[in-house]
Amino acid sequence: MSSELERRLEGLFAQGPEPEPGAAEEARHRALRALRPVATPHRGLRAAVLAFAGVVVLLVIAAGSLAAAGALHVSIGAKPKPARPTPHLTLPKRANGVAAIVDGRLSVVARGGFRSEVAASAAALSPRALYVAAGIGDSLVAMAPDGRRAWSRPVGGKVVAIAWAPDGFQIAYVVHTGQRYVLHVIYGNGIHDTLIDRSVRAVRPTWRADSLAFAYVGGGGRAIVYDLGHQSREVVAVDPPVTAVAFAPSGDALALRGTSGVSLVEQSAFRHIAAADVEAFGWLHGRLAVAVPGPGSAVIRLFAPDGASRGSFRARGIVRAITPRLVVVQRKQDVVAGQTTLFAIPRHATIRGLEIG
């Protein structure tokens, strides 16, 4: 092997991260074991064999470096684990995509037949489900409908909540770093990451319909509305701790769940909507929907953005989520359903997040 080739290889491998401990030693042992049947080679053949062994060692080191960088998966002597069964997702009518995290695994279905399953801590669909942003390992990752990664950004911790702005230009996300939860905003293309608050709760932010402001829960448990244009904060007058926030799909009405139940804030007017015992709440077809548990079924009460009552209906089972298009109910058969069946889940499975785009 020429000295010129050696210099090129050394320069190439120096650009990658350090390999995993023992990778070089393992490669050396394997190369030598493979050469044991060769008996007393001539000097020229011995030199060629040793050069070949050196190339094997360098290639394995390179593979280890690429694996550490996330560009290559390396498995030596280990059988791949059987794939876990994917919950069966079906697109609801008039929806562009659906994403759900069941027992720590993200399942996504989008128009065009795109399906994906990966271990994730949080996820959010972009408008019209063109992309999905997910917390994978210590990174925030955006994936395109064809399954490729659009971009990936290390965030130094576990992403626990993600919210994509209605216009698709920005993403608000909460990351767990050390003993704190930190709130960031990043552009939808993965650039211009901005720190917003160094101490928040692990609650999913919610964007106002105009994408110019979003609400989150601060470290003290109070709801805060952050105005991007003025870079200002307004504390919402709801007793802490607030455990969930949800802006209306149009206008500026904000629903919150706190110690006294669900409340509604619209044009500085405060209204108490429901008692503390609430299974889920959200905006359904432009109306605030609050699910109150009952014997064998839940009562879902509907309210206009100004707090006026708009009737109610029953859902048999436990209401797990309320999305802008449907109510998600878990029945005794362990099937999550609404206007259409979304997916079947294993018994006692935990649904951490669900989003329809």
- Tokens encoding 244: 């969930």
Question: Mean pLDDT over residues 254-275, rounded?
Answer: 88
Residue 340: what pLDDT?
Answer: 37
More confident residue, 52 or 332: 332
Give which of 13, 44, 102 is closest to 355, Cα–Cα. Answer: 102
Q: Where do the structural domains in the chain lie, given as residue ranges?
A: 3-69, 97-356
CA angle at residue 230 from 232 to 258, to 5 degrees? 35
Average pLDDT over residues 325-346: 55
Is the per-residue pLDDT at 351 higher than 60? yes
pLDDT at residue 54 above 70?
no
Burial zone of 36 (CB within 10 Å; 0-12 exposed, 13-18 middle, 19+ buried): exposed
Q: What is the mean pLDDT of the chain?
A: 75
CB 115 within 8 A of CB 109: yes
Question: What is the predicted pLDDT for the residue at 343?
Answer: 47
Mean local confidence (pLDDT), 191-208: 97
CA–CA separation, 177 and 198 (whole Å): 10
Neighbours of 78 (CB within 10 A): 7
CATH pick for 97-356 out of 2.40.50.140, 2.130.10.10, 1.10.1060.10, 3.90.228.20: 2.130.10.10
Does the structure show a pLDDT above 60 at 212?
yes
pLDDT value at 13 more than 80: no
pLDDT of residue 334: 46
Q: How confident is the model at residue 64 (pLDDT cuts 50, 70, 90)?
A: very low
Contact 273, 303 (CB under 8 A): yes
Residue, of 188 and 339, whose pLDDT is higher: 188
**pLDDT per residue over 107-149, tens digit each?**
787 776 666 678 899 999 999 888 999 999 999 999 876 678 8
